[in-house]
Amino acid sequence: MTRPFRVAVVGAGPAGIYAGNILRTRAGEAGIEVQIDLFESLPSPYGLIRYGVAPDHPRIKGIVTSLHDMLADGAVRLLGNVEIGADITVDELQELYHAVVFATGAQVDRHFDLPGLEKHGSFGAADFVSWYDGHPDVPREWPLNARQIAVLGNGNVALDVARVLAKHPVDLLTTDIPENVYAGLAASPVTDVHVFGRRGPHDIKFTPIELRELGEVPGVDIVLYDEDFENGSTAVGGADKGAGGRAGAGEAAANGARRAVGNQAKVMARILQSWRERESTDAPRRLHLHFWHRPVEILGDGDGDGEGAGRVTAIRFERTEPDGAGGIRGTGEFVDYGVQAVYRAIGYRGTPVRDVPFDEAAGVIPNDGGRVLDENGAAVPRLYATGWIKRGPVGLIGHTKGDAAETVEKLLEDHASLSAAERPDEDAVIAFLRSRGVRFTTWDGWLALDEHERALGEEFPGMQRERIKVVSRDEQVAISNREVVAR
């Protein structure tokens, strides 16, 4: 009798779900019987789709439908509220499974060396995103007491953070924001949110849809500055170079990618130009986009009356310009902006999993095509990685499919050697978790929680909302496991 090939996937975000789905499909095509368990540290699935995307992005969150379909038939079993390295160690996982695939993502802010970073009112975007998305492991309250706010970064996360800060909270009531988040945003006195980038408008990392949505926020004026456009930086330079003439397949693909990037840049340049031509509506809130600004220091009010770091009162920038070689250089001109809060949206990084190799500098699990590597560069038997923990937090959600396919290919190449060892049946992990007293959740539990949150939305006075998120971990677990919920 052939033993099933048992695989644990750690992380139930898009990367982990794609990996599980591709593995079961390709294993089936190869005639391999596979059993896949999907472990998640949170009580609910979907990872950054539930806890890392701004709540007013229904089109992006629509991917939940396809992720739901991949898990709904039970071929990939969900085990939530299980912390790998605490509730169950990696060694214990390896005793229960032939292979372990890590899809733990990138969940914390990339390190940024900026004087004044420790001041009260200086925040990382990752924590703020977790707060407004109702992550159970962050505080329920957020200090929203600034009238003028700086957001550092020119990527989609920076836009999400700026838009949520500037948007009138009533316009978020059609989303799934938790009650505590709505209450916090409703009390915010903010009037101006400033988004700063080190480079020019031609180098922004936003996607066109994100940028366009920014200009559609009711009751918020977009403000641009002519001096940021005076060096011709809205031109799309060189995007199509090399596209003419005959080319091989690789060059043709590269040229196609350059044209796609060039077309996106042209769309965004048109959007920015249309905003420059807009008349102010004297809206009560303003969202400013600044380019050619390199942050130098966060300024504060001394020692904060015994609180230690002091409070943010301003941020200093050096103006930058093109260096003629594709980079930027400082101009020696410095400018201060009076703000009471600074949000850093300069990128995410992965975090270590206990007893798994980790590259601290890159913030990833070192790997070769998905096979985890030790400090000597040798493959670690039976350990694999996929998604942002494999390649870093770059690219869109859909790019994780390619990562997963590559990792699954390596995993199936190793199948013969991996499956030779005996492993206990699929009930063993359930017995193990129960013996440890772990209150794990399942797919059926998620369906119960999903139904509960949707019912909360229907009860909201004055309008029917899609859902209202349950924030508390204990409450999520209790609802998922049909326990009595204390209110």
Q: Does the pLDDT of residue 442 top 90, yes or no?
A: yes
Q: How many CB atoms lie within 10 A of CB 149?
A: 26
Averaged pLDDT, 246-257: 45
What confidence score (pLDDT) does residue 284 get? 95
What is the torsional sign of CA 436, 442, 446, 448?
Answer: negative
What confidence score (pLDDT) does residue 235 get? 40
Q: What is the total residue count of the chain?
A: 487
Confidence of residue 259 (pLDDT cuts 50, 70, 90): low
Q: Does the pLDDT of residue 254 top 80, yes or no?
A: no
Q: Does the pLDDT of residue 147 top 90, yes or no?
A: yes
Confidence of residue 250 (pLDDT cuts 50, 70, 90): very low
What confidence score (pLDDT) does residue 174 get? 85
Nearest to 190 by CA among 208, 214, 211, 164: 164
What confidence score (pLDDT) does residue 446 get? 97
In terms of pLDDT, which residue wins out, 61 or 441?
Answer: 441
Q: Are 385 and 119 a contacting pair, CB within 8 Å?
A: no
What long-range pairs does 412-416 form, CB within 8 A, spacing at least 24?
A: 412/23, 412/26, 412/27, 412/30, 412/32, 414/99, 414/371, 415/5, 415/30, 415/32
Averaged pLDDT, 408-417: 96
The domain 5-107+350-440 is placed in CATH, from the list 3.40.50.720, 1.20.210.10, 3.40.50.10420, 3.40.50.1370, at 3.40.50.720
Residue ranges covered by each domain of the chain: 5-107+350-440, 110-234+264-348
> What is the percentage of the chain residues whose pLDDT exceeds 90?
71
* pTM as predicted: 0.89
pLDDT tens string 150-203:
999 998 899 999 999 999 999 998 888 999 999 999 999 999 999 999 999 988
The vertex-359 CA angle with 354 and 364, nearest 5°, equals 80
Max Cα distance, the chain (Å): 75
Q: What is the DSSP string of 225-292?
A: -GGGGTTSTTS-TTTTTT-SS---HHHHHHHHHHHHHHHHHHHHHHHHHHHHTPPP---SEEEEEE-S
Written as six digits, the tokens of 35 are 């059993």
Q: Does the pLDDT of residue 34 top 60, yes or no?
A: yes
pLDDT tens string 339-385:
999 999 999 999 999 999 999 999 999 999 999 999 999 999 999 99
Confidence of residue 220 (pLDDT cuts 50, 70, 90): very high
Distance CA 217, CA 220 (A): 6
Q: Which CATH architecture has domain 110-234+264-348?
A: 3-Layer(bba) Sandwich (3.50)
pLDDT tens string 122-140:
999 999 999 999 999 999 9
Q: Does the pLDDT of residue 487 top 70, yes or no?
A: no
Residue for token pair 């942002």: 388
